[in-house]
Amino acid sequence: MTAFARLALVPRDGIFCKDGRGWHTSASGRGHGLDWPWPSTILGALRSAWGRGEETRSGVPFGPDEWRTRTAAIRLGRTLVLRRQHGVAWRVEDTTWPVPLDALWLEGHREVYRLEPVQPLVPTLGRDDDEARESLWRPVLDSAGKPLAPPRWWNSDDFSDWLAGRSVAVRDRDEVLTTTRRIQVHVGILPEELTADEGVLFSHDIIETVEPSAEWAIGAEVALPNGALSGLATLGSDARLARVEPLPAALFEPPARLHEAFRSPCQGLRVVAVTPLCFEKGWLPDGLDVRDCAYRGRLPGLDAEVILRAAFVPRPVHVSGWDMAANAPKPTSRMVAPGAVYFFERSDGKPFGEADARSLWLGALGTRTDEGFGRVVPGVWSPKRSTP
C-alpha cells in the first residue's frame, strides 16, 4: 500500500550539497556547494529516511540491491522552498520562490521592471538555420537604466503579484530574502602523532538555514510505501540532520490572486520554472514541434494547442549526484534552470482561463518528474505586437 504525504525537511545545522566542481578547482582551495538541493537530493534523503526506518523495524540491514528494490516505489512530487518565523506553524505565506528571468532590477527604479517579449523586426546574428527559433519574440528594454543583480528568492506575496500581472516594489536590502554561507573546515588527526593529517584537511561552504528570526526548510509531496518516516532525516553530502514535520495541503495550492487574474480573458500565458526542467531537446519543452515556422504543440494539463512565442532561458544547470547503492557518481544531465520563463498563445486565438492556471500550478513538464524535476507555475501575459 502506498501512502501520500506532505512533509517539511527542516535542517538544523545548515545544508551542504556538493556541486560538480572538484575540491581544489579555484584559488580558494575549497569545495563548493549548491545554493539549494536538487530535487533528486531531496528524494534521496526521503528514501534513506524511509529505508532506515524499515531496517529498524525489521532488525535486518538492507544490502545495495535491497535498497534499490525496496525504495523504488518512493516518488517525489511537488517541492517547495519554505521560510518561516521561529515558533509558528507553517502557513501559505511561508512559501518562497525563485525570481523569474523576466523580472529586472534597474538602478534608480523603485519598482521591478517587467521584461516583455515583442515580435522581432531584424534577424539575430546567429546561424539562420531554424526559422522557428528566429521567429521567437525577444525582450526589449524601453526604459533607460543600469541593470542590477536580482535577488535569488521572492516571498509568496511578491511572486503571486508578479504572476498576476501586478507591479512589485523593490525591497530594501534588509528585506531581501537571501541565504548566507559559512566555511566548514574538516581536519583529520593522526592517532600516532596527534597531528593533522593533510590528506583529511579540507573545507567547504555551508548554507545556513537558521537565522536570528527565521528558518529555511524544504517542502515535499512524496509517495511512500507502507510505513511512515521517523521524525529525523539526513540531507546533503555530509548527512546533516533535518527534522521531519507534516505540512498542510494549502501550501501546495495556487494563490487566490492568481485565480482572480485568470478570470479575465488572458490572451497570453507565462510558464515559470520553479525546479530544473529536463527536456529531450535542451531548452525546448517536450511536446512542441516546428510547424508553420513556429514551435507548436501541447502542454500537459492544457486541452488546446499552443504556440511558443518567447523563451527567456539562462545558461543550463548541470545536475548530477552520488548513487549511494552503487557507490558511484550519477550521470550528469543538462537542465533548464529555475527562473526560466516561457511565453505561449493558443493557436485558436482563444484566451487562457482559470482552469488552465489551476492545472498548470506546480504542474509537471518534461522528464524525471517522479524525481521532483520539471515543476512550473503559470502567470498572465498580454502579448504586444511590434510595429515597423
* CA–CA gap between residue 380 and residue 102 (Å, rounded): 13
How many C-alpha atoms does 207 have within 13 Å on its Cβ side? Answer: 22
The pLDDT of residue 128 is: 63
The pLDDT of residue 388 is: 46
Q: Is the pLDDT of residue 199 over 80?
A: no
% of the chain beyond a pLDDT of 70:
95
* CA–CA gap between residue 232 and residue 12 (Å, rounded): 10
The pLDDT of residue 83 is: 96
Distances (CA, A) of 266 to 13, 87, 118, 252: 45, 41, 17, 23
**Tens digit of pLDDT for each residue in 278-291?**
999 999 999 999 99
Delimit the domains of the chain by residue range: 2-96+176-252, 254-381
Distances (CA, A) of 249 to 92, 220, 233, 351, 361: 9, 11, 21, 29, 14
* CA–CA gap between residue 237 and residue 18 (Å, rounded): 6
Mean local confidence (pLDDT), 107-132: 82
- The dotted CATH code for 254-381 is 2.60.40.4350
**Tens digit of pLDDT for each residue in 135-191?**
899 988 877 788 999 999 999 999 999 999 999 999 988 888 998 888 888 788 888
Mean local confidence (pLDDT), 127-132: 75
pTM: 0.91
Q: Is the pLDDT of residue 242 over 70?
A: yes
* CA–CA gap between residue 77 and residue 370 (Å, rounded): 6
**Tens digit of pLDDT for each residue in 293-311?**
899 999 998 989 999 999 9
Mean local confidence (pLDDT), 337-364: 95
Q: What are phi and psi of 254, to 5 degrees?
A: -65, 150
Q: Is the pLDDT of residue 197 over 60?
A: yes
* CA–CA gap between residue 362 and residue 96 (Å, rounded): 13
| Mean pLDDT score of the chain | 89
The reply to whether CATH 3.30.70 applies to domain 2-96+176-252 is: yes
